[in-house]
Structure 1
Amino acid sequence: MASSSKFTVPSVNLDNLPTTPEAWNADTVRATFLSYFQSKRGHTFVPSSSVVPHNDPTLLFANAGMNQYKPIFLGTVDPQSEMATWKRAANSQKCIRAGGKHNDLDDVGKDSYHHTFFEMLGNWSFGDYFKKEAIEWSWELLTKVYGIPGDRLYVTYFEGDASQGLEADEEAKKLWSAVGVPEDHILPGNMKDNFWEMGDQGPCGPCSEIHYDRIGGRNAAHLVNMDDPDVLEIWNNVFIQFNREEDRSLRLLPNKHVDTGMGFERLVSVLQDKRSNYDTDVFHPLFDAIQNITGAPPYAGKFGEEDKEGIDTAYRVVADHVRMLSFAIADGATPGPVSRGYVVRRVLRRGARYARRYFGVTLGEFFGKLVPTLVKQMGQMFPELVAAEADIIRTFNDEEEAFAKALDRGEKLFNGFAEKAKKGSGVLDGLDVWRLYDTFGFPTDLTRIMAEEAKLTIDEAGFEKAREEALEASKRRVAKGGVEVIKLDVHDIGKLESMSEVPMTDDSSKYDRSKQAITAQIRAIYHNKEFVSSTRGISSDDQIGILMDKTNFYAEQGGQEYDTGSISIDGKAEFEVQNVQAYAGYILHTGFMKYGSLSVNDEVISEYDELRRSPIRNNHTGTHVLNWALREALGDSIHQKGSLVAAEKLRFDFSHDGPVSAENLEKVEESSTKYIRQNLDVYAKDVPLEEAKKINGVRAVFGETYPDPVRVVSIGVEVDELLKNPNNEAWENVSVEFCGGTHVGNTQDIKDLVIVEESGIAKGIRRIIAVTGVDAHRLQQIAIEFGGRLDKIDKLPFGPYKETEMKKIGKELKELKTSTVMKNNLIKKFDAMQKELLALQKAQEKKDTAAATETIAAAFEKNPDAKALVIPLPITANPKALSGVMKTLPKKYKDKSVYLFAGGKDGQEFLHAAFVSGPLGQATTAQKWTESVSSIVGGKAGGKGPTSQGVATNADKLNEGIEEARRFLEGLQI
């Protein structure tokens, strides 16, 4: 799906283009390329697809311009789709190479031309033009339109490979010579450089690269493909003409395609006569913004040893990373612990560390401040950036804030590891590197950078061993986690009360978002039904409970799930907290030791997992909003009967007679969204219970016992304001509840609330399950994309293909996991389409029945003496029409036999059927006749008595099937 389908590229006058490097700005360079191929060479402009290939599980990110055209190259394109009509296409594709097979992350900042995000200018031919046109046009565009001196350009062609049975691409060589490239600028290249393959299998072919010499005035042929920064590849023309088979053999394709890609940033540097991509206006607006925010010296373009302070490298890294991250987030990638999400988090943390280390910024809002500059710079070409600007900034701020705290401790720990390594072999212990990653989320490439700065290397084998051992231990802990969590019973609590050194736990820090990590003291360790002094000697597979004097962990209560996280002494010991429960004022943290040992009275760092807590906060505040919205939509009879607040969802039980209608669910979701989108602050305060009860509209769970004072949570109005005039009728329009849970600071953090299920759990009690935040957005996108598919099917012309697609998408709709409200609307749309289709089918059936009846009658009128006829019918493959006609045959043609074929137009599927009566019935049966035809056309046929019907599986065998039916008839000699 194109990410900006309504966007049309600005055109330029190709007869009035810049003539000096200073006049070639980046926007003009891009627009010139697209205008040349769109207006002069008849290409369709296709907006860039998303950098997040939602429908291609083989890719982490779109990494080349051809990704969105794979269905055409692989022959799987929907024949009814717009894509199937394209013969020529051109665009500027957003690409990310920061993970997987194509990964340029480690090179970013170090050289002048690598980026994690870049644009790929491309033109494609799908079975239309081939080598001649591609070569002539690329040379014309570069030398005549852009005005690049031809003597600065070098081209390569495939030299052949005898082991693959491939000859040299002499055709490309001759074509380059014909456009005027000197012979010593036309260079042969091997399989690695000049034979492009989509994968282990699939379309492939020779390619021809164009390289540019930044210096000029010399012969630079010997520097081509030698990673020289001054002789760089700018364009690659791929001539797709083979298919790599499963057995690794090559087979010629029926159609030949052209797939080209030109690095936009590199082209801009060439036209602006800059020796580095970073010296162009692609990056300078971001460099200026970085300098304005940080007060750093201006960017000077230094590399390697010249960049002694590392400032210029940091400029390049930060500017590159903010581009990559902004486009990834805009297209739906969010920071996470695995796969694509981990790549985003890893790049952000890498950039954040550079920003703090070299620019001295305080993390929390730095990257977010750069986003408006990027949006202003690229928002016209890529409007999805404009639409997602607020989300991008919010994501940056949240991730930076979370990493900043880990960075402080991680860098301190790294310095300790580094000192140890310097005193020894100069190699960082692999186990230490693993702990930096495992405990503090330090990507290993970030640790490598820090090691390089400290003139150290990493024990890679040791790191890998530590990773594997930790993975195995984690599997064992997960298995143990399935076992019942250890609990404190009445006797255990009695022991604690008698232990003066173990006070009740102060858990007030759990509400303070600035206290994700606090210092605490271990007061008791619980193992095997005993309180022990230390974890020393206890297996890492044994479950342990820890009590501290204070905690910032949330113990499970009031429907909200417990926190997870760690209790540790940096570099010496770590305890993995998997569950937290409260027992009469004592907070027990249960889990497993990951390494080292802990003892009573140890000073430790207590740190909850913010990545788990954050969605729980969203869902808890979302539960309050939902409670309010339900009463708004359904009235005061709504009372809370229970709830669950987890990281992945919220569940809310309430009193209501009968199911909530689709219309009312929509009202509830709309009211919730409206409330959330007001970006209201969330307030909380402990209030004397009797005073709190007087607040008009306050919501509480009937029968619940509340503490005194009770915590009041209000969304949008300060609690003190509520207490000034508790009877104010306006408070009916405010969400106010008694609640001991954790909440967001502002409703904008929730983003969206989506209902995914509504059901009954008991008489008069209903249950709603909903999600918020990123999960809500994901489900909305699923519904939006599904709706787009419905729209495409709706526009299809009536016929067998549309009927098949309707059946297929109808089954998918039943299983679709998305917003209940949006799914109801999709069902309504589908039902309307189905109703319209049914009406068309009935009309077509009536039309086909009449046409078939007339055709059969005309055939026997023309051949009155024939005892049997084979008749192709001028109708679609309509089973109801054919069955209806077959039922009339015994009455109309008692002594006649007939073989009918329906459909088969343009290679579409067809049906066939036999009616046997009269003389033919003495010689054979309808079943034998159709079996004979089925042996040719595929599929099976069957029936009872005088009739038999079949469906052909070989759609292109219609004529052969007709001939077989006649041949079978002739062989009977009736």
Structure 2
Amino acid sequence: MDSGSIRRKFLEFFEKKGHTIVPSAPLVLKNDPTLLFTNSGMVQFKDYFLGNAQPKSRRVADTQKCLRVSGKHNDLEEVGIDTYHHTMFEMLGNWSFGDYFKKEAIAWSWELLTEEYKLPKDRLYVTVFEGDAKENLPFDQDAYNFWKEHIAEDHILRGNKKDNFWEMGETGPCGPCSEIHVDLRSEEEVQKLPGKELVNQSHPQVIEIWNNVFMEFNRKADKSLERLPAQHVDTGMGFERLCMAIQKKTSNYDTDVFTPLLSFIGQAAGVTYKDSEKTDIAMRVIADHVRAVAFAIADGQLPSNTGAGYVIRRILRRAVRYGFTFLNFKEPFIYKLVPVLGNQLKDVFPELESQKEYVGKVIFEEETSFLRTLEKGLKRLDAIQAELKGQVISGPLAFELYDTFGFPIDLTSLIARERGLSVDEDGFKAEMEKQKSRSKADAAKETGDWITVGTDVKPEFIGYDNLEADVRIVRYRKIKQKNKELFQLVFDRTPFYAESGGQVGDTGYIESVNEKVYIHDTRKENELIVHFAETLPENLQASFHAQVDRQKRQLSMDNHSATHLLHAALRQVLGKHVEQKGSLVNDRMLRFDFSHFAAMTAEEIQKVEQIVNQKIRENIALDERRNVPIDDAKKLGAMALFGEKYGDFVRVITFDPKFSVELCGGTHVPATGQIGLCKIVSESSVAAGVRRIEAITADEAERYVTESLGLLDQVRELLKNPKDLLASAKGLLEEKHALEKKLEAFQQEQANQLKDKLASRAQQVNGYHLILEKVSVPSADALKNIAYGLRNQFDDLLLVLAADVEGKPQVAVMLGEKLAGTNRYHAGNMVKELAREIGGGGGGQPFFATAGGKNLDGLDAVLEKARKLIQ
């Protein structure tokens, strides 16, 4: 059974059991501050477990793209070394939100694995939670009893809290779980040692394939557990491991999930998989990592130096390092795998196939950049080796190679061994710990538990139609970041827009009879709308009047609507390949990132700006449609962005159905005329294949034009109000250029005269021509030209010039070719000594060196010291 059939069978099985099949959420999370990436199938359903939102269906199933490279679930260093850990993987899952529980979940798991997938019953083992006395958690007797209905008791094992109590993170939904393991060893090995002895012992052929989590608790910030409002089922089956079991392979990488990638890599490298452990590991690393990087980019996350972008860059660089070191990939290669991967998964994850050119371009540029960095790192390693007094590269130096050039300790150790050196790995680990401690201190954030006030209800956003409202606080919590205490408030309803879709959150205040509390930010946390305040209201039970900052909201709306017009204009001018890759909208400006592979010309920028302002002047009325079925929205021509998670019903924003139709949750002007004016102020590159436009509208645009015209008036006045300002400016530049040429010729003539004068004053001393003089020259270049001119004249020259260069002291030492060959003098060493007299430093070649300084009065002392050095 191929991997596609295995996936389809899972989804069809649970569809027959009354489950709604839902699409995968994006890898990159937008509104969850606790996670950078979707690391399990349950992440997109977290609010259902917590009771913050109601699911549209109480039974769902899916295959979810997951990424585990940071935080609690971090498998990165194992990936490629073993054959069953991955960065990105698929998790097949079935879910019950307050519907069925342990009995049905266990029965269906057994039915699917043994009757549909035909896995041998005697090779399956299950674990149940043994309980935990410290937390007063009992043995999961129910799960044990339900399993006894299907499997022999000696195949039911008790598992500890580490293995059989599943927690998403430090806080959040959790509960006891029941894992299913399969023994894939040969019959001979099974006879020697029963599989139950190897469960959870990291054996590569006795592996966990499915985990049934019974969500019953919520882990609070103080580490205590509270009961969830309802009991849920959250299951996750590793797709890659399941394929290994069904296809009777000994490794995930032997399945058809990975073989197309491994075959492509092997052909390019001229090696065969399973020829060598070193090349096998490198091939596995690349095959795994390209999946994580490609899908993250397709979902909207570009590699960068911070946050989620840094994680993606780190994964890609790890793949490049392995290819560079073990497969001799000295040129970009990984980007070539994107079409292979896109074609392989186009039926289940079409987003990559649709963007393969763009994703490949981003990866190519990242590879190119890092390969250059690797070359610099190798040169630095050469320098370190030259300076070593022993045979050990110190911990701080190894850390410098890691931190500055991206060399992991294993790469540094490998190269060191090849050169007969070793690395102080303990010292390296100590430096790493120091960095981690600094990072933790910088990012330290303590988040308290939510405290309910009165009746807790799901907050209602009313900010599309209202900028003020009477509200009540339904929950709050305290957070502490960088020693600053803040409070997060949730209201029963709110006019405050929460940061989303690039638009920043609203600010304003809430006010009761006795107090006023300022709201300085509003953000989303999954389904919650969270308001940030520096103080906590004294009377939490009071009724408050909430007021949004009207001017800030208005200006933000101007910029957001202008962004939609800009997007449409870019597609009109540059082509339909233009798609939004990110945006920022606030009350001061708009920033719009879009896919395009070349810098825009001045004419293209001007054309886009003209179209946008034409649409503004047309005063097009906003057509806002709420709760539109997603399929109907697409029929209207609304653009759906990759990397965004859309529900069954969406909001459609239209400014002329033939021009701009977009899915958007942001706030917008009632008609485009309100924007007033849009002015593009910059166009630049953000990453490979991604350009960025920054623009201003309304008040800022008016201010910009006023200041620009004012500056132009000042320039015109300085030029005596010429009729043709441009011609006048060009004339001035031409005149300046002509005068510079005359000055240059005059200075050259002066330098030639000075050279001749110095030559006439050369003294013959001990068989060479000696010139020691204090001079005044217009530039350092003039000083250098004089020195070389005298060297051409005297092959036995010894020249020391103490120069005043436009009020700054300089020293030049020059040796003629004949004298330099005797090694009697060294210009570089001499100039270092002489530079001390002018309070500076310098250096150069053995025959010519220069130095600069601060003390102009020290020039006479330079000549005096030079005489002593020569003697």
**Residues 106 and 445 in structure 1, CA contact (< 8 A), matched pair in contact too:** no
Q: Deviations over 1:493-542 (max 9, x none)?
A: xxxxxxxxxxxxxxxxxxxxxxxxxxxxxxxxxxxxxxxxxxxxxxxxxx
User: Residue 498 of structure 1 aligns with which residue?
Assistant: none
**Residues 26 and 644 in structure 2, CA contact (< 8 A), matched pair in contact too:** no
Q: Which amino acid aligns with 1:33?
A: F
Measured after TM superposition, the shift of residue 456 of structure 1 is: 4.0
Instruction: Give the direction of change, closer, same or farther, for the CA distance of 1:813–1:115 in structure 2 (3 Å limit).
Output: farther
Q: Deviations over 1:325-371 (max 9, x none)?
A: 1111100111111111111111111111211222222323x112111
Mapped partners of 2:647, 2:114: distance in 1: 43
Instruction: Give the direction of change, closer, same or farther, for the CA distance of 1:316–1:468 in structure 2 (3 Å limit).
Output: closer
Q: Counterparts in 2 of 1:766-777, with a 5 A limit?
A: none
> What secondary structure does 1:85 align onto?
coil
User: Residue 261 of structure 2 aligns with which residue?
Assistant: 286
Measured after TM superposition, the shift of residue 111 of structure 1 is: 0.6
Instruction: Choose from 233, 255, 271 the match for 2:208.
Output: 233
- Answering whether residue 36 of structure 2 is matched by residue 69 of structure 1, we say no
**Residues 97 and 117 in structure 1, CA contact (< 8 A), matched pair in contact too:** yes
Q: Which amino acid aligns with 1:329?
A: I
> What secondary structure does 2:32 align onto?
coil
Measured after TM superposition, the shift of residue 786 of structure 1 is: 9.9
- Answering whether residue 19 of structure 2 is matched by residue 48 of structure 1, we say no
Mapped partners of 2:180, 2:204: distance in 1: 15
User: Residue 381 of structure 1 aligns with which residue?
Assistant: 348
**Residues 677 and 747 in structure 1, CA contact (< 8 A), matched pair in contact too:** no
Mapped partners of 2:563, 2:438: distance in 1: 46
**Residues 244 and 250 in structure 2, CA contact (< 8 A), matched pair in contact too:** yes
Mapped partners of 1:156, 1:787: distance in 2: 35
Instruction: For CA contacts below 8 A with separation 6 or more, give which structure has more relative contact order.
Output: 2
Mapped partners of 1:812, 1:668: distance in 2: 17
- Answering whether residue 87 of structure 2 is matched by residue 116 of structure 1, we say yes
Instruction: Give the direction of change, closer, same or farther, for the CA distance of 1:178–1:380 in structure 2 (3 Å limit).
Output: same
Instruction: Choose from 166, 181, 190 the match for 2:137.
Output: 166
Mapped partners of 1:751, 1:271: distance in 2: 52
Report how many residues are paired: 503
Instruction: Choose from 12, 17, 21 the match for 1:35.
Output: 12
User: Residue 7 of structure 1 aligns with which residue?
Assistant: none
Instruction: Choose from 153, 156, 163 the match for 1:186.
Output: 156
Q: Counterparts in 2 of 1:571-970, with a 5 A limit?
A: 670=568, 672-677=570-575, 748-750=597-599, 792=650
Mapped partners of 2:370, 2:138: distance in 1: 55
Mapped partners of 1:159, 1:107: distance in 2: 28
User: Residue 107 of structure 2 aligns with which residue?
Assistant: 136
Structure 1 runs not aligned, ≥5 long: 1-23, 475-659, 681-745, 760-765, 767-779, 796-805, 828-974
Measured after TM superposition, the shift of residue 164 of structure 1 is: 1.4
User: Residue 334 of structure 1 aligns with which residue?
Assistant: 302
Measured after TM superposition, the shift of residue 244 of structure 1 is: 3.2
User: Residue 146 of structure 1 aligns with which residue?
Assistant: 117
User: Residue 763 of structure 2 aligns with which residue?
Assistant: none
User: Residue 339 of structure 2 aligns with which residue?
Assistant: 372
Measured after TM superposition, the shift of residue 215 of structure 1 is: 1.2
User: Residue 964 of structure 1 aligns with which residue?
Assistant: none
Mapped partners of 1:162, 1:792: distance in 2: 48
**Residues 346 and 443 in structure 1, CA contact (< 8 A), matched pair in contact too:** no
User: Residue 970 of structure 1 aligns with which residue?
Assistant: none
> What secondary structure does 1:162 align onto?
coil
Measured after TM superposition, the shift of residue 206 of structure 1 is: 0.9
User: Residue 213 of structure 1 aligns with which residue?
Assistant: 183
Q: Which amino acid aligns with 1:430?
A: G
Q: Which amino acid aligns with 1:151?
A: D
Q: Name the % identity.
A: 44
Mapped partners of 1:355, 1:436: distance in 2: 18
Measured after TM superposition, the shift of residue 423 of structure 1 is: 4.0
Instruction: Choose from 387, 394, 408 the match for 1:429.
Output: 394
Mapped partners of 2:69, 2:288: distance in 1: 11
Measured after TM superposition, the shift of residue 54 of structure 1 is: 1.4
The Cα RMSD (Å) is: 4.5
Instruction: Choose from 327, 348, 354 the match for 2:322.
Output: 354
- Answering whether residue 246 of structure 2 is matched by residue 276 of structure 1, we say no
Q: Which amino acid aligns with 1:62?
A: T
Instruction: Give the direction of change, closer, same or farther, for the CA distance of 1:415–1:147 in structure 2 (3 Å limit).
Output: farther
Instruction: Give the direction of change, closer, same or farther, for the CA distance of 1:216–1:131 in structure 2 (3 Å limit).
Output: farther
Instruction: Choose from 242, 251, 256 the match for 2:231.
Output: 256
**Residues 241 and 256 in structure 1, CA contact (< 8 A), matched pair in contact too:** yes
Q: Deviations over 1:154-193 (max 9, x none)?
A: 00001112221121111111111111x1111100011111
Measured after TM superposition, the shift of residue 465 of structure 1 is: 7.8
Mapped partners of 1:452, 1:812: distance in 2: 69
Instruction: Give the direction of change, closer, same or farther, for the CA distance of 1:29–1:758 in structure 2 (3 Å limit).
Output: same
Mapped partners of 1:787, 1:270: distance in 2: 32
Mapped partners of 1:267, 1:187: distance in 2: 21
**Residues 242 and 253 in structure 1, CA contact (< 8 A), matched pair in contact too:** yes
**Residues 434 and 466 in structure 1, CA contact (< 8 A), matched pair in contact too:** no
**Residues 169 and 206 in structure 1, CA contact (< 8 A), matched pair in contact too:** yes
Instruction: Give the direction of change, closer, same or farther, for the CA distance of 1:412–1:30 in structure 2 (3 Å limit).
Output: same
Instruction: Give the direction of change, closer, same or farther, for the CA distance of 1:786–1:46 in structure 2 (3 Å limit).
Output: closer
User: Residue 886 of structure 1 aligns with which residue?
Assistant: none
**Residues 180 and 208 in structure 2, CA contact (< 8 A), matched pair in contact too:** yes
Mapped partners of 1:111, 1:281: distance in 2: 18
Instruction: Choose from 270, 273, 293 the match for 1:299.
Output: 273
Q: Deviations over 1:935-973 (max 9, x none)?
A: xxxxxxxxxxxxxxxxxxxxxxxxxxxxxxxxxxxxxxx
TM-score, scaled to structure 2: 0.52
Instruction: Choose from 131, 142, 166 the match for 1:196.
Output: 166
Mapped partners of 2:669, 2:563: distance in 1: 24
User: Residue 105 of structure 1 aligns with which residue?
Assistant: 76
Mapped partners of 1:751, 1:178: distance in 2: 68
Measured after TM superposition, the shift of residue 132 of structure 1 is: 0.3
> What secondary structure does 2:329 align onto?
coil
**Residues 355 and 361 in structure 1, CA contact (< 8 A), matched pair in contact too:** yes
Measured after TM superposition, the shift of residue 253 of structure 1 is: 2.9
Mapped partners of 2:101, 2:439: distance in 1: 51
> What secondary structure does 2:31 align onto?
coil
User: Residue 381 of structure 2 aligns with which residue?
Assistant: 414
Instruction: Judging by fraction of residues, say which structure has more strand.
Output: 2
Instruction: Give the direction of change, closer, same or farther, for the CA distance of 1:282–1:254 in structure 2 (3 Å limit).
Output: same
Measured after TM superposition, the shift of residue 810 of structure 1 is: 7.5
Instruction: Give the direction of change, closer, same or farther, for the CA distance of 1:290–1:419 in structure 2 (3 Å limit).
Output: farther
User: Residue 615 of structure 1 aligns with which residue?
Assistant: none
Instruction: Give the direction of change, closer, same or farther, for the CA distance of 1:414–1:196 in structure 2 (3 Å limit).
Output: same
**Residues 184 and 245 in structure 2, CA contact (< 8 A), matched pair in contact too:** yes
> What secondary structure does 1:352 align onto?
helix
**Residues 171 and 223 in structure 2, CA contact (< 8 A), matched pair in contact too:** yes
Q: Deviations over 1:869-900 (max 9, x none)?
A: xxxxxxxxxxxxxxxxxxxxxxxxxxxxxxxx
Mapped partners of 1:471, 1:138: distance in 2: 43
Q: Deviations over 1:193-223 (max 9, x none)?
A: 1112233443221100001111154321111
Instruction: Give the direction of change, closer, same or farther, for the CA distance of 1:160–1:357 in structure 2 (3 Å limit).
Output: same
TM-score, scaled to structure 1: 0.46
Instruction: Give the direction of change, closer, same or farther, for the CA distance of 1:114–1:466 in structure 2 (3 Å limit).
Output: closer
Q: Which amino acid aligns with 1:333?
A: Q
**Residues 106 and 146 in structure 2, CA contact (< 8 A), matched pair in contact too:** yes
Instruction: Choose from 459, 463, 479 the match for 2:431.
Output: 463
User: Residue 320 of structure 1 aligns with which residue?
Assistant: 288
Mapped partners of 1:47, 1:111: distance in 2: 30
Q: Which amino acid aligns with 1:220?
A: G
Instruction: Give the direction of change, closer, same or farther, for the CA distance of 1:111–1:422 in structure 2 (3 Å limit).
Output: farther
> What secondary structure does 1:748 align onto?
coil
**Residues 154 and 212 in structure 1, CA contact (< 8 A), matched pair in contact too:** yes
> What secondary structure does 1:65 align onto?
coil
Instruction: Choose from 398, 421, 429 the match for 2:365.
Output: 398
**Residues 367 and 396 in structure 1, CA contact (< 8 A), matched pair in contact too:** yes
